[in-house]
């Protein structure tokens, strides 16, 4: 074991300088990687030695499980919101998007306030369950809040700021009986939405207004709202044999650059709303992506209900429609997953497929027709078998079956 106090020394321009305060070097027998240097912040050697010995005692107690680690004890004294900010700073350093950081800050911070949690010691599974029972949030939102909170407490565990996750054994809300949150539009509804939304721009070539183009773009590519908001003219690549939109990794949800192929009529629609001689650095749809109130109005003008028994319809619902359209067209599910840019095919098939729009009856009609055998056919088959057996017996190839004596005596 290494354990002693000292005053650091160093030469500055040939002059030896000695620190005014003491430092300690400490390494326990079970620790590896060299001793740690600890600032003791005192000029009294006796006080420095006592402080270092106290650290030795604490490390022995920590190893025996008699005392929580120093990081845990220090975190227990810090406000919970301060720990949340440290968690968000670490996420930001890892490259997580601002939207993700805002979601955690709002979701988890609101949970702290609603449950009255100010320090780690006040966090309990019971108070969370009480909040969840009284909350009017949807089951999915409650599960999302639980997942975000568990992500935060899991980070604290990995940082040794807490010994366990207080919400680890809290079960999720069963959403199997909850109706779908979003639905897909039928082909007729898609045509009405694209044909009756807002005033036309009046430009040559049958140009559409911005909202029509945005709706068409989501239906044809499955592009997300944030990607639309941050799309620049330079991301549009129309002068290639296969036109596409480039989604930079910085704005893509999965932090992976993507190229979204465009069909000719989509290219024409997007061109119709671009200003002449637009610069590559200009935004395409910034501040023009419709909000929910505008979408409701557009749906009403097209005679489409905003919400029905199959779910609601919003801009992300058009992404659900894009996925469902691909499956209806017979595209392989693995290809659909790639076009949707999902990391898990379960997300594609379960959350983004509206089964009410799938051709289930047409699929059943493709099954082979297997007729049920009637009794006459069955009797004829039995008679044929009996006749064949009789012929074999008469020819001597098979001996007749003898009756068992004990059965005859009954």
* pLDDT value at residue 235: 95
Per-residue pLDDT of the chain (410 residues; tens, 9 = 90+): 899 999 999 988 889 999 999 999 998 888 888 888 999 999 999 999 999 998 888 888 878 877 777 888 888 889 999 999 999 999 999 988 888 899 999 999 999 999 999 999 999 999 999 999 999 998 989 999 999 999 999 999 999 899 889 999 999 999 877 777 899 999 999 999 998 554 444 443 333 478 999 999 999 999 999 999 999 999 999 999 999 999 999 888 878 899 999 999 999 999 988 988 899 999 999 989 999 999 999 999 999 999 998 899 999 999 999 999 999 999 999 999 999 999 999 999 988 999 889 888 888 888 898 888 775 555 555 555 554 544 444 445 545 545 444 444 44
CA of residue 146 relative to chain centroid, distance? 14
Say if 229 falls within a structural domain: yes
124 and 28 within one domain: no
273 and 143 within one domain: no
Say if 127 falls within a structural domain: yes
Enclosing domain of residue 50: 2-67
Picking from 67, 84, 105, the residue at the C-terminal end of a domain is 67
At residue 393, what are phi and psi to the nearest 5 degrees?
-65, -45
CA 37, CA 57: separation in Å to the nearest integer?
Answer: 17
Say if 171 falls within a structural domain: no
CA 326, CA 336: separation in Å to the nearest integer?
Answer: 7
> How many folded domains does the chain comprise?
3
* pLDDT value at residue 375: 58
7 and 81 within one domain: no
152 and 105 within one domain: yes
Q: Assign residue 338 the CATH number of its domain.
A: 1.10.443.10
Report in angstroms the alpha-carbon separations of 118 from 86, 147, 297, 394.
15, 20, 43, 97
355 and 218 within one domain: yes
231 and 292 within one domain: yes
113 and 16 within one domain: no
CA 307, CA 191: separation in Å to the nearest integer?
Answer: 18
CA of residue 334 relative to chain centroid, distance? 18
Say if 96 falls within a structural domain: yes
* pLDDT value at residue 247: 95
38 and 85 within one domain: no
264 and 129 within one domain: no
324 and 253 within one domain: yes
Count of C-beta atoms within a 10 Å radius of residue 216: 20
192 and 269 within one domain: yes
Say if 165 falls within a structural domain: no
Q: Report yes or no: 44 and 33 within 8 Å, Cβ to Cβ.
A: no
CA 51, CA 5: separation in Å to the nearest integer?
Answer: 10
Instruction: Let me know how long the chain is.
Output: 410
Count of C-beta atoms within a 10 Å radius of residue 68: 17
Picking from 11, 42, 67, the residue at the C-terminal end of a domain is 67
Say if 220 falls within a structural domain: yes
Say if 30 falls within a structural domain: yes
CA 147, CA 39: separation in Å to the nearest integer?
Answer: 39
Picking from 67, 90, 107, the residue at the C-terminal end of a domain is 67
Say if 373 falls within a structural domain: no
216 and 272 within one domain: yes
């Amino acid at each position: 074991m290494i354990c002693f106090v000292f005053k650091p020394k160093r030469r500055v321009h040939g002059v030896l300088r000695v620190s005014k305060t003491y430092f300690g070097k400490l390494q326990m027998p079970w620790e590896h990687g060299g001793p740690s240097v600890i600032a003791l912040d005192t000029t009294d050697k006796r006080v420095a030695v006592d402080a270092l010995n106290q650290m030795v005692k604490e490390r022995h107690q920590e190893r025996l499980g008699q005392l929580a680690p120093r990081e845990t004890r220090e975190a227990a004294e810090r406000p919970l919101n301060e720990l949340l900010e440290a968690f968000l700073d670490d996420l930001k350093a890892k490259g997580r998007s601002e939207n993700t950081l805002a979601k955690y800050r709002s979701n988890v911070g609101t949970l702290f306030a609603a449950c009255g949690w100010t320090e780690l010691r006040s966090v309990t599974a019971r108070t969370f369950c009480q909040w969840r029972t009284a909350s009017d949030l949807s089951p999915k939102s409650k599960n999302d809040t639980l997942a975000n909170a568990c992500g935060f407490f899991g980070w604290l565990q990995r940082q040794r700021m807490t010994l366990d996750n207080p919400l680890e054994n809290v079960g999720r809300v069963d959403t199997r009986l909850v109706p779908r949150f979003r639905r897909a539009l039928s082909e007729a509804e898609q045509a009405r939405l694209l044909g009756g939304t807002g005033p036309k721009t009046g430009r040559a070539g049958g140009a559409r207004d911005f909202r029509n183009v945005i709706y068409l773009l989501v239906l044809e590519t499955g592009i997300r709202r944030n990607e639309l908001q941050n799309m620049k003219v330079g991301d549009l690549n129309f002068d290639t044999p296969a036109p596409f939109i480039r989604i930079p990794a910085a704005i893509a949800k999965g932090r992976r650059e993507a190229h979204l192929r465009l069909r000719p009529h989509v290219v024409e629609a997007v061109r119709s709303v671009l200003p002449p001689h637009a610069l590559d650095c200009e935004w395409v749809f910034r501040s023009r992506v419709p909000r929910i109130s505008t979408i409701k109005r557009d749906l009403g003008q097209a005679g489409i209900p905003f919400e029905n028994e199959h779910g609601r319809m919003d801009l992300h619902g058009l992404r659900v429609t894009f996925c469902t359209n691909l499956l209806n067209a017979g595209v392989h599910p693995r290809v659909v997953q790639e076009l949707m840019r999902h990391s898990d095919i379960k997300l594609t098939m379960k959350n983004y497929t509206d089964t009410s729009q799938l051709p289930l009856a047409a699929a059943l009609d493709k099954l082979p027709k297997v007729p049920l055998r009637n009794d006459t056919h069955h009797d004829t088959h039995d008679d044929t078998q009996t006749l064949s057996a009789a012929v074999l017996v008469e020819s001597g190839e098979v001996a007749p079956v003898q009756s068992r004596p004990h059965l005859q005596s009954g």
